[in-house]
């Protein structure tokens, strides 16, 4: 339904693939006529259908980020994108886990956190 579309394409050299980075669609008055979207001209007071456009970048930019910074082993984001580089989660705690087991697990998590912080 648009009059014309422009796109930005990105080449991912690591994979040899391309991806559509963003699009911009000039919709003209097609949809304003369908949905009766009008405005009043401030000079002539004449009612006119609006001109519309649509554009998108959103999730495509995440796809490009994953293609650039990911491989078959996972995703490594630079600190400017993800200031937190690691998250330590204590898992395996159930209703049957004793207080001593919980304390030991949390202490092991804290030790790992300290080691990671020492390494920068």
Give the Cα separation of 114 and 116 in Å (integer).
5
Residue 52 pLDDT > 90: yes
Are residue 1 and residue 34 in the same domain, yes or no? yes
The pTM of this model reads 0.50
Q: Which domain holds residue 97?
A: 86-120
Report pLDDT for 83: 84
Are residue 68 and residue 93 in the same domain, yes or no? no
Does residue 81 lie in a domain region?
no
Give the Cα separation of 43 and 48 in Å (integer).
12
Q: What is the dihedral of CA 49, 55, 58, 61, to 10 degrees?
A: 180
How do residues 62-117 score in pLDDT, each as one tens digit?
888 888 888 888 888 888 888 888 899 999 999 999 999 999 999 999 999 999 98
Does residue 44 lie in a domain region?
yes
**Which is nearest to 10 in space by CA: 53, 75, 55, 65?**
65
**Which is nearest to 29 in space by CA: 51, 47, 46, 48?**
51
């Amino acid at each position: 339904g648009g009059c014309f579309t422009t796109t930005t394409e990105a080449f991912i050299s690591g994979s040899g693939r391309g991806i559509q980075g963003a699009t911009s669609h000039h919709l003209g008055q097609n949809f304003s006529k369908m949905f009766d979207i009008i405005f009043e001209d401030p000079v002539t007071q004449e009612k006119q259908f609006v001109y519309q456009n649509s554009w998108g970048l959103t999730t495509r930019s995440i796809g490009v980020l994953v293609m650039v910074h990911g491989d078959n082993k996972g995703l490594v984001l630079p600190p400017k994108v993800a200031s937190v580089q690691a998250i330590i989660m204590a898992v395996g705690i159930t209703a049957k886990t004793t207080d001593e087991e919980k304390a030991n697990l949390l202490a092991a998590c804290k030790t790992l956190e300290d080691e990671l912080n020492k390494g920068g």
